[in-house]
Amino acid sequence: MPDRVTAIVPGTFDPVTVGHLDIIRRGACTFQTVVVGLIEKPTRKKTMFSIAERRAFLEEVLADLDNVTVASFNELVVDFARHWHATVILKGLRAISDFDYEFAMAQLNRKMAPEIETVFMMASPEHAFLSSSGVKEIVSFGGPVEDLVPAPVARRLSELYPRRP
Protein backbone atom coordinates (compact mmCIF):
# COMPACT_ATOMS: atom_id res chain seq x y z
CA MET A 1 0.00 0.00 0.00
CA PRO A 2 1.33 3.48 -0.78
CA ASP A 3 2.57 5.52 2.17
CA ARG A 4 0.04 8.29 1.75
CA VAL A 5 -3.50 7.01 1.36
CA THR A 6 -6.46 9.35 1.55
CA ALA A 7 -9.84 7.84 2.30
CA ILE A 8 -13.22 9.50 2.11
CA VAL A 9 -16.11 8.54 4.39
CA PRO A 10 -19.25 9.79 2.64
CA GLY A 11 -22.65 10.09 4.27
CA THR A 12 -25.49 12.33 5.34
CA PHE A 13 -24.65 11.99 9.05
CA ASP A 14 -28.17 13.09 9.95
CA PRO A 15 -27.46 12.93 12.78
CA VAL A 16 -23.94 11.68 13.30
CA THR A 17 -23.97 8.72 15.69
CA VAL A 18 -21.32 7.11 17.87
CA GLY A 19 -21.27 4.32 15.28
CA HIS A 20 -20.28 6.78 12.55
CA LEU A 21 -17.60 8.20 14.83
CA ASP A 22 -16.25 4.73 15.52
CA ILE A 23 -15.77 4.06 11.79
CA ILE A 24 -14.23 7.52 11.19
CA ARG A 25 -11.84 7.20 14.13
CA ARG A 26 -10.78 3.69 13.14
CA GLY A 27 -10.30 4.96 9.59
CA ALA A 28 -8.11 7.76 10.93
CA CYS A 29 -5.87 5.10 12.51
CA THR A 30 -5.73 3.16 9.24
CA PHE A 31 -5.29 5.86 6.58
CA GLN A 32 -2.95 8.84 6.30
CA THR A 33 -5.83 11.26 5.70
CA VAL A 34 -9.57 10.88 6.13
CA VAL A 35 -12.06 13.25 4.55
CA VAL A 36 -15.55 12.99 5.98
CA GLY A 37 -17.73 13.75 2.97
CA LEU A 38 -20.95 15.35 4.08
CA ILE A 39 -23.65 14.98 1.43
CA GLU A 40 -25.36 18.36 1.11
CA LYS A 41 -28.58 17.32 -0.61
CA PRO A 42 -29.19 13.59 -0.34
CA THR A 43 -31.50 12.17 -2.98
CA ARG A 44 -32.73 9.21 -0.91
CA LYS A 45 -33.99 11.04 2.18
CA LYS A 46 -34.89 14.41 3.67
CA THR A 47 -32.54 15.58 6.40
CA MET A 48 -33.53 16.63 9.90
CA PHE A 49 -30.55 18.94 10.29
CA SER A 50 -29.25 21.58 7.90
CA ILE A 51 -25.90 21.14 6.21
CA ALA A 52 -24.45 23.80 8.54
CA GLU A 53 -25.63 21.96 11.66
CA ARG A 54 -24.42 18.57 10.45
CA ARG A 55 -21.04 20.04 9.56
CA ALA A 56 -20.73 21.82 12.92
CA PHE A 57 -21.52 18.59 14.80
CA LEU A 58 -18.88 16.67 12.86
CA GLU A 59 -16.22 19.36 13.16
CA GLU A 60 -16.76 19.66 16.90
CA VAL A 61 -16.62 15.94 17.68
CA LEU A 62 -13.68 15.25 15.33
CA ALA A 63 -11.58 18.30 16.27
CA ASP A 64 -9.06 16.12 18.13
CA LEU A 65 -8.09 14.21 14.97
CA ASP A 66 -5.40 16.06 13.02
CA ASN A 67 -5.70 13.84 9.95
CA VAL A 68 -9.48 14.20 9.56
CA THR A 69 -11.19 16.92 7.54
CA VAL A 70 -14.91 17.53 7.12
CA ALA A 71 -16.04 18.72 3.70
CA SER A 72 -19.47 18.93 2.13
CA PHE A 73 -20.28 17.88 -1.42
CA ASN A 74 -23.10 17.60 -3.90
CA GLU A 75 -21.69 15.47 -6.71
CA LEU A 76 -20.91 11.85 -7.42
CA VAL A 77 -18.94 10.23 -4.60
CA VAL A 78 -16.17 9.26 -7.04
CA ASP A 79 -15.86 12.87 -8.21
CA PHE A 80 -15.62 14.01 -4.59
CA ALA A 81 -12.94 11.36 -4.01
CA ARG A 82 -10.99 12.52 -7.05
CA HIS A 83 -11.22 16.14 -5.85
CA TRP A 84 -9.42 15.07 -2.65
CA HIS A 85 -7.04 12.69 -4.48
CA ALA A 86 -8.55 9.87 -2.43
CA THR A 87 -7.94 6.31 -3.50
CA VAL A 88 -10.30 4.76 -0.95
CA ILE A 89 -14.00 5.09 -0.17
CA LEU A 90 -14.45 3.84 3.39
CA LYS A 91 -17.88 2.51 4.32
CA GLY A 92 -19.10 1.04 7.58
CA LEU A 93 -21.24 -2.09 7.52
CA ARG A 94 -23.64 -3.15 10.26
CA ALA A 95 -25.64 -5.98 8.73
CA ILE A 96 -26.31 -7.96 5.58
CA SER A 97 -28.85 -5.35 4.50
CA ASP A 98 -26.08 -2.70 4.52
CA PHE A 99 -23.87 -4.99 2.47
CA ASP A 100 -26.51 -5.49 -0.23
CA TYR A 101 -26.86 -1.75 -0.82
CA GLU A 102 -23.17 -0.89 -0.36
CA PHE A 103 -22.02 -3.75 -2.61
CA ALA A 104 -24.15 -2.39 -5.47
CA MET A 105 -22.86 1.14 -4.89
CA ALA A 106 -19.26 -0.10 -4.75
CA GLN A 107 -19.69 -1.85 -8.10
CA LEU A 108 -21.16 1.29 -9.69
CA ASN A 109 -18.35 3.41 -8.25
CA ARG A 110 -15.76 0.94 -9.51
CA LYS A 111 -17.28 1.11 -12.99
CA MET A 112 -16.95 4.91 -12.97
CA ALA A 113 -13.59 5.07 -11.16
CA PRO A 114 -11.60 1.82 -11.22
CA GLU A 115 -8.67 3.57 -9.56
CA ILE A 116 -10.69 4.09 -6.36
CA GLU A 117 -11.20 1.13 -4.02
CA THR A 118 -14.15 0.73 -1.68
CA VAL A 119 -13.08 -0.60 1.70
CA PHE A 120 -15.70 -1.99 4.08
CA MET A 121 -15.15 -1.76 7.82
CA MET A 122 -17.41 -3.80 10.08
CA ALA A 123 -19.24 -1.92 12.80
CA SER A 124 -18.03 -2.58 16.30
CA PRO A 125 -20.44 -5.02 17.99
CA GLU A 126 -21.75 -2.38 20.38
CA HIS A 127 -22.80 -0.20 17.41
CA ALA A 128 -24.07 -2.88 15.02
CA PHE A 129 -27.71 -1.99 15.69
CA LEU A 130 -27.30 1.78 15.51
CA SER A 131 -28.63 3.97 12.71
CA SER A 132 -29.45 7.65 12.28
CA SER A 133 -33.02 6.76 11.36
CA GLY A 134 -33.33 4.70 14.55
CA VAL A 135 -32.05 7.63 16.61
CA LYS A 136 -34.59 9.94 14.99
CA GLU A 137 -37.43 7.54 15.69
CA ILE A 138 -36.43 7.03 19.33
CA VAL A 139 -36.10 10.76 20.04
CA SER A 140 -39.36 11.58 18.25
CA PHE A 141 -41.18 9.40 20.81
CA GLY A 142 -39.34 10.93 23.75
CA GLY A 143 -36.80 8.16 24.22
CA PRO A 144 -33.23 8.61 25.44
CA VAL A 145 -30.45 8.84 22.83
CA GLU A 146 -27.58 10.29 24.86
CA ASP A 147 -25.49 7.14 24.55
CA LEU A 148 -26.20 6.82 20.81
CA VAL A 149 -25.02 10.23 19.61
CA PRO A 150 -22.24 12.64 20.62
CA ALA A 151 -23.06 15.26 23.27
CA PRO A 152 -23.61 18.23 20.90
CA VAL A 153 -26.14 16.21 18.91
CA ALA A 154 -27.88 14.99 22.07
CA ARG A 155 -28.20 18.59 23.30
CA ARG A 156 -29.72 19.76 20.02
CA LEU A 157 -32.09 16.81 19.85
CA SER A 158 -33.28 17.54 23.41
CA GLU A 159 -34.09 21.09 22.28
CA LEU A 160 -36.07 19.84 19.30
CA TYR A 161 -37.74 16.99 21.18
CA PRO A 162 -38.12 17.75 24.89
CA ARG A 163 -38.64 14.63 26.98
CA ARG A 164 -42.16 13.87 28.04
CA PRO A 165 -42.79 13.47 31.77
94 is catalytic: yes
44 is catalytic: no
Q: Is the pLDDT of residue 1 over 90?
A: no
Contact predicate 137/157, CB 8 Å: no
124 is catalytic: no
Task: Name the catalytic one among 20, 54, 91, 127.
Answer: 20
Average pLDDT over the chain reads 94
45 is catalytic: yes
Could you tell me the pTM of the whole model?
Answer: 0.94
DSSP codes, 86-151: --EEEEEE-SHHHHHHHHHHHHHHHHH-TTSEEEEEEPPGGGTT--HHHHHHHHHTT---TTTS-H
Quickly state the pLDDT bin for 3 (edges 50, 70, 90).
Answer: low
Q: Is the pLDDT of residue 164 over 80?
A: no
Task: Name the catalytic one among 4, 41, 45, 85.
Answer: 45
Domains of the chain: 6-129 (3.40.50.620)
Q: Is the pLDDT of residue 163 over 80?
A: no
Q: Is the pLDDT of residue 165 over 80?
A: no
